[in-house]
């Protein structure tokens, strides 16, 4: 055992004074612990106005990434376990939905198109339906004011809607005729691209009257909203 008491008292005092001045004194571990514990172990980042989120926890090692309205993939995994699952959304079309087209009383000269996701995966209704009555050679234009802020996404069993303004209420439309067959086309991830098989919903036996003012809304989640244009 070392005998520190053999050192002169003056030298011991000088060593203690030097340690205090140059900061080389031994740190107290109990005092340093709170500083290490205050290091951030959980961070949350949000971008695109809340459309995309990423959260990371240093305690659990889990990671979750959300997908924005136009995204097609959501991933959830556990970095500790090295496991993760990936869910990919597909486009809604005639192969994974059922579709109906029904004229409504209010507003006048309007028809409601309803699409229900009958598949096992979440699907996206992109842009607006491409309508064609019988052998019509022109495509009805969308109502720009009806464009939603995000893509209409349907989980299995959910429905989306589009409103159709068939003819001018004041009779100002031209080329008025009655259609007996309606084909509803679906768009892909880019405008005017092919989104998959089309659908042919049943129409009333007497047909549906329309004229040159025929327009359609974008795909929407709310039925009432689809009929306000």
Contact between 112 and 102 under an 8 Å Cβ cutoff? The reply is yes
Q: What is the reported pTM? A: 0.63
- Tokens of residue 36, six digits: 């290490």
Confidence of residue 228 (pLDDT cuts 50, 70, 90): very high
Instruction: For 93-136, write each residue's pLDDT tens digit.
Output: 999 999 999 999 999 999 999 999 999 999 999 999 999 999 99
Instruction: Determine the Cα–Cα distance for residues 25 and 115; give it in Å rounded to an integer.
Output: 74
Instruction: For 155-197, write each residue's pLDDT tens digit.
Output: 999 999 999 999 999 989 999 999 999 999 999 999 999 999 9
Q: Specify the higher pLDDT residue, 82 or 214.
A: 214
Backbone angles phi, psi at 55, to 5 degrees: -125, 135
113: CB partners within 8 A, 6+ apart: 99, 100, 101, 129, 161, 162, 163, 164, 184, 201, 216
Instruction: For 69-79, write each residue's pLDDT tens digit.
Output: 333 444 333 33
Confidence of residue 88 (pLDDT cuts 50, 70, 90): confident
Contact between 131 and 180 under an 8 Å Cβ cutoff? The reply is no
Q: HEC string of 24-56?
A: CCCCCHHHHHHHHHCCCCEEEEEEHHHCEEEEE
Instruction: Determine the Cα–Cα distance for residues 146 and 94; give it in Å rounded to an integer.
Output: 23
């Amino acid at each position: 055992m070392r005998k520190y008491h053999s050192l002169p008292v003056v030298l011991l005092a000088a060593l203690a004074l030097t340690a205090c001045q140059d900061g080389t004194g031994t740190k107290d571990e109990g005092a340093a612990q709170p500083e290490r514990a205050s290091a951030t172990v959980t961070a949350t980042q949000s971008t695109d106005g809340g459309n995309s989120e990423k959260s990371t926890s240093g305690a659990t090692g889990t990671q979750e990434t959300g997908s924005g309205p136009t995204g097609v993939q959501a991933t959830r995994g556990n970095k500790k376990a090295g496991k993760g699952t990936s869910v990919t959304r597909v486009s809604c079309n005639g192969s994974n939905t059922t579709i109906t087209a029904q004229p409504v009383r209010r507003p006048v000269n309007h028809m409601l198109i309803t699409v229900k996701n009958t598949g096992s995966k979440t699907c996206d209704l992109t842009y607006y339906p491409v309508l064609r009555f019988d052998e019509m050679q022109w495509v009805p234009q969308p109502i720009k004011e009806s464009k939603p802020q995000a893509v209409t996404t349907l989980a299995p069993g959910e429905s989306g809607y589009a409103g159709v303004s068939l003819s001018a209420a004041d009779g100002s439309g031209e080329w008025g005729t009655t259609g007996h067959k309606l084909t509803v086309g679906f768009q892909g991830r880019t405008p005017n691209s092919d989104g998959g098989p089309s659908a042919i919903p049943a129409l009333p036996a007497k047909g549906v009257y329309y004229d040159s003012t025929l327009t359609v809304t974008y795909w929407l989640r709310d039925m009432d909203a689809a009929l306000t244009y």
